[in-house]
Homo-oligomer: A and B are copies of this chain.
């Protein structure tokens, strides 16, 4: 309901094409759909597709199925994150045509491809245990329209593995760096490139990792200027941030 729509609405009212009550109704009829237990934000889906990404954890199976089915009906497109294998199997019975990516715990259906944005989104991960989060980021970014490349297992304790890939780092339009443990990789990458770098701490580690807090703090305190951070294990969030960035200049 942006300024133009509001101006048009008011103009219709001023021209007598719309009554006061109808105008009030229109003002209330904002672009979401009420399922009773959820209000689907088609407005957001129209704008950048984020609304078509559903957080799968913590939803009742039948409600999740209803939400997913509604998006499939509306646009033929939906992506569900944080879906463990059992929930995925249940969901697949209710909604046909979903593809399940086990490592990333993502189910996806995209009847029509999204238009590709300019520039590459490079997803860099520090260790093999970080791959689930990195894959969540990569699959989400692809679903949302990015061209995605991957660079894996380049943690800082073997810094030469990263430096050997300097060219790919330099070519990326935006870089997502996924790391657990001490979370140092984004700082090193941030110092090597001038593109936006989105750091994703993971819960990989034990003891004083405190479920990814150590990595998060390292990223927030990075000496690399302009590093930005999302929540622990939030691969989708990093993908959405990358899309916001890639949309500019497209």
Task: State whether B156 touches A187 (Cβ < 8 A).
Answer: yes
For residue A142, CB closer than 8 A to chain B, the reply is no
For residue A104, CB closer than 8 A to chain B, the reply is no
- The A227-250 residues at the B interface (CB cut-off 8 A) are 227-234, 236-237, 239-245, 247-250
Out of B153, B220, B241, which one reaches A39, CB within 8 Å? B153
Known: A128-B38, A154-B39, A158-B43. Is A221-B225 also a contact (CB below 8 A)?
Answer: no
Out of B53, B167, B198, B210, which one reaches A225, CB within 8 Å? B53
Residues of B within 8 A of A219 (CB): 182
Known: A13-B14, A191-B156. Is A218-B184 also a contact (CB below 8 A)?
Answer: yes
How many chain-A residues does the 8 Å CB contact rule pick out? Answer: 122
For residue A161, CB closer than 8 A to chain B, the reply is yes
User: A153 — nearest CB in chain B belongs to which residue?
Assistant: B39
Task: State whether B3 touches A14 (Cβ < 8 A).
Answer: no
Known: A38-B152, A207-B234. Is A192-B159 also a contact (CB below 8 A)?
Answer: yes
28 A-B pairs with C-beta separation under 8 A: A1-B160, A3-B166, A11-B20, A30-B160, A38-B128, A39-B158, A41-B161, A47-B194, A53-B225, A57-B206, A126-B223, A156-B156, A156-B191, A157-B191, A157-B223, A159-B159, A184-B184, A196-B196, A196-B244, A207-B232, A208-B213, A208-B220, A208-B231, A227-B230, A227-B237, A227-B241, A228-B237, A248-B249
